[in-house]
Structure 1
Amino acid sequence: MFTVRVLPLVLVSMLAACGRQESVPPAVQSVSASQTPATEASEPGTPAVVPYANMPKIAPIGVRIDKHLDVPESARGPAIDPAKGYRLQDLGDGLYMVTEGAYQSMFLVYDKGVVVVDAPPTYAAKLPAAIAEVTKNPITHVVYSHSHKDHIGGMPTLGGKPIIIAQEETLRLLKRDNDPDRPLPTVTFKDAYTLNVGGKKLELSYHGNGHEPGNIFISAPKQKVLMVVDVVFPGWMPWRRFAVAQDVFGSIAQVDKIGSMEWDTFVGGHVTRTGTHADVAVQAEFYRDLKAAAGKALSTTKPGEGVNPQDLNNPWAVFDDYIDRVVVQCVDTLTPKWQSRLGGYDVYIWDQCYSMEQALRID
């Protein structure tokens, strides 16, 4: 049986369109307008008997899905050794990327130590073993890409007392959070900071709020590697709501900034593989299409059209119905082109359309 979380107005039954009606209780099954008498109505507060027009086959938020779209080969990365639980990728001249298939971090080996960039709690306990594959040097420095716990919350498992480097906004947020799993930075900077250790270099720079305040660019110029976390997702649909970006258009601008910089290998902090300039161009193209689709839907959808007259005195209901129909059109517009190009397209396309229409209306 399907588990359905009913959200206001958007969760009309679309199970018939998804070909899964046989698993759904009769009370939430969809039927077409031609099958339903005009006088038939749903119970108040329940999904409508007749769905929105042109409801996409991509299931909306809150509807359990039997099988998601297959991940395209272009999104896949090398396999993870299950015995180790991580994959180590040599990026050149002492720089390595580590991933367990969903999160990514880096470390840089120099003559007297190791610099770690991020410690995701999903595999931070295994980072010492990954480092030990290439050096016996101790961890002397840790760079925080930003303040979010899913990227740096494994810091205590690294041991020792390394120097912790972060942008000053990250320090502010971590002081507020007071989380023992995220020790406070000991070195901070405002716009730029160059870490020189044993002839190896990392250039750290801040380009404003996008994903969140303090999220930095980490460049290894000799290795031609750029790491920016939670902004570009090579081969994949970005995490929901532009990876919960605080500033949607700021995050989009940073995608363009990343594409304009000189590097050969991109590390995004997530997904199964590193990225290329072509990957960044694809995400920029998707964002342009998303903005255009949401913008057109906003301008061509009429508020209140089709709303039950008894609900016209409920401004929340009228406006939510308008936004839901905008998002239905947005998803419909994007799906033919993008559903086979991005891994996890069907998982987060509804989130992206909702976020974009909101950004266009109020930002």
Structure 2
Amino acid sequence: MSNFEKPGVPTDRYGLGAAGMPLNDHTDYRPIPADAYGTLFLPDRLAKGYHVEEINDGVHYVTSGAYDNMFIRTGNGVIVVDAPPLLGTNLLKAIREVTDEPVTHFIYSHFHSDHVGAAHMFGPDVTYIAHDYTREMLQRWPDLNGGAPVPTETFSTHETLDVNGVKVDLDYKGTNHTPGNIFVYAREQKVLAAIDIISPGWSAFKNCDASENIRGWAEAHDWILEYDFKAVVSGHVNRWGTREDALASRAYTNDIIDFAKEALDEAEDLEFIQRHGFSNAWLLWENYFNEMTNYVTKKTLEKVTDNGQNWGDRLAAADVMTKYHAYTILEALRLEYGLTSRFEKRILPQ
């Protein structure tokens, strides 16, 4: 076994040095708060590989411990929202664990295969529903594993699905994590599916959850809070979220944005030029962005929040992921918000 394969022994296996990505260990980061693990270590999840629970009046939450989704019993068929491959056929087992009703409707939150790549297992007789853009993506670039059937019904801004009197609102408020990423709201049960925006109790995954439009992703935190919800199913990590989780995620994101704006305004330009010169432009820009990223990361992790904790302690793995969000948001401020740093103003022709 190589050092790379031994748990807890980071190594530069490929000899890349500065050209490669660093490998870190658990000891490099803060411990994960016990309440952030949610369902991960529950006996049923450990035994079966999944956990299923009823959130409210027929709306059920299912998780593998890393990916999650929801389904709704209507009394005349089951509505399923997403089918992550890492849940796979365990999702079928979870449904059968609580009902004999057939699956009649499948809703795509968005086109990303990690959330919908097991949709094919429900078969051809199911109605597959998605935003127009999701259908376009699945038609143009089919899932290479054949896991995501092309939707049979689509909508552009709003649709209400009514199955046996159970009403589910499908809303598209604009580009966010991806174009076509929708909100799915079981109105009577007050349960919302809003995928790849927040991660309850945790920092989002790298680069603002690999989102395609960062400004829209940030705004989507406000859109979530416009709903009157008891629970939000987010796609990650291992528990459903509350309104307090959504508020915390929005505050964390807004703090990163505010500190990134501050970094763009405060960055010292001449020091970078004097240290690196212009001969290797990408080295100059890399160090410039890394310096600003570190500034934003430090400010964010040390920010004391409204519950008296700093973000480094309040959100699980914030010390792992904040640097990636900081860099991504710094770039978005330049590309999507139209802000220009003092550094750029100094080196670019006026």
Q: Same fold (TM over 0.5)?
A: yes
Residue 83 of structure 1: how far off its partner (Å): 2.0
Q: Please name the residue that 2:306 is paired with.
A: none
Residues 129 and 2 of structure 1, relative CA distance in 2, 3 Å threshold: closer
Amino acid in the other structure paired with 1:228? A
Indicate the SS of the match to 1:270: coil
Amino acid in the other structure paired with 1:63? L
Q: Please name the residue that 2:241 is paired with.
A: 275
Is contact 1:2–1:63 with CA below 8 Å preserved after alignment? no
Residues 284 and 184 of structure 1, relative CA distance in 2, 3 Å threshold: same
State the alpha-carbon separation in 1 of the partners of residues 265 and 293 from structure 2: 12
Q: Point out where structure 1 has 5 or more consecutive residues left out of the alignment.
A: 4-19, 29-44, 48-59
Q: Point out where structure 2 has 5 or more consecutive residues left out of the alignment.
A: 303-309, 337-350
State the alpha-carbon separation in 1 of the partners of residues 88 and 276 from structure 2: 56
Is contact 1:233–1:271 with CA below 8 Å preserved after alignment? yes
Q: Please name the residue that 1:41 is paired with.
A: none
Q: Please name the residue that 1:344 is paired with.
A: 317
Q: Please name the residue that 1:137 is paired with.
A: 101
Give percent identity, aligned residues only.
Answer: 33
Aligned length: 317
User: Is 1:358 the counterpart of 2:331 in the alignment?
Assistant: yes
Indicate the SS of the match to 1:122: coil
Residue 115 of structure 1: how far off its partner (Å): 1.2
Is contact 2:272–2:284 with CA below 8 Å preserved after alignment? no
Residues 66 and 73 of structure 1, relative CA distance in 2, 3 Å threshold: closer
State the alpha-carbon separation in 1 of the partners of residues 71 and 118 from structure 2: 14
User: Is 1:101 the counterpart of 2:62 in the alignment?
Assistant: no
State the alpha-carbon separation in 2 of the partners of residues 109 and 335 from structure 1: 42
Indicate the SS of the match to 1:323: helix
* TM-score in terms of structure 1 length: 0.81
Say which of 314, 317, 320 aligns to 2:283.
Answer: 317
Is contact 2:255–2:300 with CA below 8 Å preserved after alignment? yes
Residue 314 of structure 1: how far off its partner (Å): 2.6
Indicate the SS of the match to 2:135: helix
Residue 272 of structure 1: how far off its partner (Å): 1.1
Residues 167 and 306 of structure 1, relative CA distance in 2, 3 Å threshold: closer
* TM-score in terms of structure 2 length: 0.84
Q: Please name the residue that 2:114 is paired with.
A: 150
Residues 135 and 334 of structure 1, relative CA distance in 2, 3 Å threshold: same
Q: Which moved more, 1:256-265 or 1:168-177?
A: 256-265
Is contact 2:10–2:25 with CA below 8 Å preserved after alignment? no
More helix by percentage? 2
User: Is 1:165 the counterpart of 2:102 in the alignment?
Assistant: no
Deviations 1:228-257 (A, max 9, x none): 100111111011111111111111111012
User: Is 1:235 the counterpart of 2:201 in the alignment?
Assistant: yes
Deviations 1:61-104 (A, max 9, x none): 62322433211234231325222111111022221111111111
Q: Rg bigger for which structure?
A: 1
Residues 354 and 149 of structure 1, relative CA distance in 2, 3 Å threshold: same
Q: Which moved more, 1:289-298 or 1:68-77?
A: 68-77
Is contact 2:202–2:318 with CA below 8 Å preserved after alignment? yes
Residues 249 and 61 of structure 1, relative CA distance in 2, 3 Å threshold: farther
State the alpha-carbon separation in 1 of the partners of residues 31 and 21 from structure 2: 19
Amino acid in the other structure paired with 2:289? I
Q: Please name the residue that 2:192 is paired with.
A: 226
Q: Please name the residue that 1:77 is paired with.
A: 38
Is contact 1:303–1:319 with CA below 8 Å preserved after alignment? no
